[in-house]
Structure 1
């Protein structure tokens, strides 16, 4: 009985304090009355160990149930009606989305490539951690083989690839055809996974031809039947093949869009919009067009099935003979955000220290780059930034409750 009364009094006291804070913040919205040591970065994904598998989008029990139903359907000799894009046709209302995603990606790359000339980007040469802004932080989180005993990072200059890591996928001429085998790994082009998703969704690139069907395929007793010819007459497979080496990479001019404005803030605002537009559009495409990822490594394959290349070097790859453990991918697998510590405006030219690391917020590196350039951050990142928490001084840290 006494415990219940104590809890009731505590709840009433907490409610009175919250009402008082609301009244004070109504007069001054920037006021903060206490330090908080409780982490509010609930949206950050948990860092997995090497032996852990990525959490599946669909539970394994649901996948097993669907597999049993499909097995029963294959035993019946009847036609299964397939809907686009499973039947090889395009989803018409997603074709403009594919064009928008590709344009947003080009605009994003152009914005980031220009802003890296104004904002310093650092990366650890040992663990690969990234920091946006000068000077780099002094938080001791470098814990890999070969790192110093103090766990301090060894910072070097970074670039666009550290802010926007490139995720590649095999380009498929026929998305519902057979998977890429291990012997074909050097014969099939690898392109950015988002570009491959846009191509399969209806965006045409002459450099990477793909098969566009006029008539759907049919599924009878679990087998795909295609009545069209294998290769159209207007496509010649012998053309545009370079014999001087597959390692030669062309310099594509369509990966970046020239910007005429020199306003850093305008470039940042435009890049922030392109980042959100690319991720939102890619998420819409992934609702219809399947994308596979390995459960243990960052490998991605755009298409209804994963490839058969045995190049997985993750946990217990010997038991899988180097094959990937394919599962449904998410937008973070297709465009992985690199999380970095967020630097507030009122702490310029002051490095983040290790003793106060629990008070710092985090943001994706590309968002942090645009934020430091003057672009407003959307409300969805407010919890990750932890702007509502006051960062104490070093001499005040021991008094924090």
Structure 2
């Protein structure tokens, strides 16, 4: 699932803008002008963003986990943390479920990512009809990915830290002290594990949704009127793909447009 989504999403990455000082991204031809930047450490708020070009990892957020031969291995101790390879959590979940993964997919990911980035730098031109088809196939791959992960998590347990985004695929979490929340306290970086959900392994990365009746550039005065959507969904919708009706409420598809007078006043 994830390989298809990654391949098709890379074709659409030209519509992606990433903030230079916070994790927010914007999907669209022109980045929004809302003052919602909070900086690296969330020590500021209500600042305008400084936008730069986004990449595939801004849309499909990478989540990694330790790779084990099977989930019944002994817990990974802190002094063993460098003895285990870090792989995408979805691949590890599929591996634990018995999927046959090519060895190069697990151990040559850096080479594959470098090749993908090189292809993205010189994208082949696509017609609007071709781009719409790519968007629809990407959206279908995204939905299959999340549905598949949801089903696997019902059978194969996975854990996520309550205080950070660390994920572990297995019956119990590892003992590597890598949690930064309690770095200078008595916990010494130990994770506090809980049951993981699909959003922990496949983050949705919610972004602002730009509807046909919204202005070309989203501004602060219309913040209460604009909708939201997962970044992958918004990316595909921007090129003409049809999103599932389950996103209509979040996207405010039938909501009112912001008053023109407000935008002009700003």
**TM-score scaled by length of structure 1:** 0.58
Deviation at 1:161, TM superposition (A): 0.4
Counterpart of 2:234 in structure 1 is 368
Shift of 1:134: 2.2
Give the aligned partner of residue 107 of structure 1.
4
Q: d(CA) in 2 for partners of 1:298 and 1:132?
A: 24
Q: CA deviation at 1:183?
A: 1.2
1:1-400 correspondence runs (5 A)? 104-117=1-14, 119=15, 121-144=16-39, 145=41, 151-207=47-103, 250-252=110-112, 262=126, 263-314=130-181, 318-347=185-214, 350-395=216-261
Distance (Å, rounded) in 1 between the aligned partners of 2:256 and 2:67: 49
Deviation at 1:394, TM superposition (A): 3.6
Q: Once the 2 structures are TM-superposed, how far is the Cα of residue 302 of structure 1 from its aligned partner? A: 0.6
Shift of the 199–299 alpha-carbon distance from structure 1 to 2, 3 Å rule, reads same
Contact 2:182–2:189 under 8 Å retained in 1: no
1:197 and 1:327 map into 2 onto residues whose CA distance is 16
Q: Which has a greater percent of helix?
A: 2
Counterpart CA distance in 1 for 2:103 and 2:20 is 35
1:359 counterpart SS class? coil
Structure 1: state its 5+ residue gaps: 1-103, 210-239, 241-247
Q: Deviations over 1:209-239 (max 9, x none)?
A: 9xxxxxxxxxxxxxxxxxxxxxxxxxxxxxx
Q: CA RMSD in A?
A: 2.8
Deviation at 1:249, TM superposition (A): 5.6
User: Counterparts of 1:387 and 1:162 in 2: how far apart (Å)?
Assistant: 24
Deviation at 1:261, TM superposition (A): 11
2:182·2:188 contact (CA, 8 Å) conserved in 1? no
Counterpart position of 1:23 = none
Aligned partners of 1:142 and 1:193: how far apart in 2? Answer: 29
For structure 1, which segment, 160-169 or 172-181, has the greater mean C-alpha deviation from structure 2 after superposition? 172-181
Contact 1:170 / 1:301 at 8 angstroms: preserved in 2? yes
Higher RCO by CA contacts (8 Å cutoff, separation 6 or greater): 1
* Residues 126 and 147 in structure 1, CA contact (< 8 A), matched pair in contact too: no
Distance 1:192 1:166 in 2: 7
What's the CA shift string for 1:42-64, capped at 9, x where partnerless? xxxxxxxxxxxxxxxxxxxxxxx
For residue 251 of structure 1, give the secondary structure of its aligned residue in structure 2.
helix
Relative to structure 1, is the Cα distance of residues 206 and 138 closer, same or farther in structure 2, using a 3 angstrom cutoff? closer
Q: Give me the TM-score of the superposition, normalised by structure 2.
A: 0.86
Gaps of 5+ in 2: none
Give how far 1:336 is off.
0.6
How many residues are paired up? 252
Instruction: Give the Å deviation of 1:107.
Output: 0.8
Conserved? CA contact 1:312–1:323, under 8 Å? yes
The answer to whether the 8 A contact 1:356-1:394 is kept is no
Task: Return the offset for 1:345.
Answer: 2.1
Inter-CA distance 385–110: structure 2 relative to 1 (3 Å threshold): same
1:128-166 deviation digits (Å, cap 9, x = unpaired): 111001211111111235877761111111110000110
Secondary structure of the corresponding residue to residue 241 of structure 2? coil
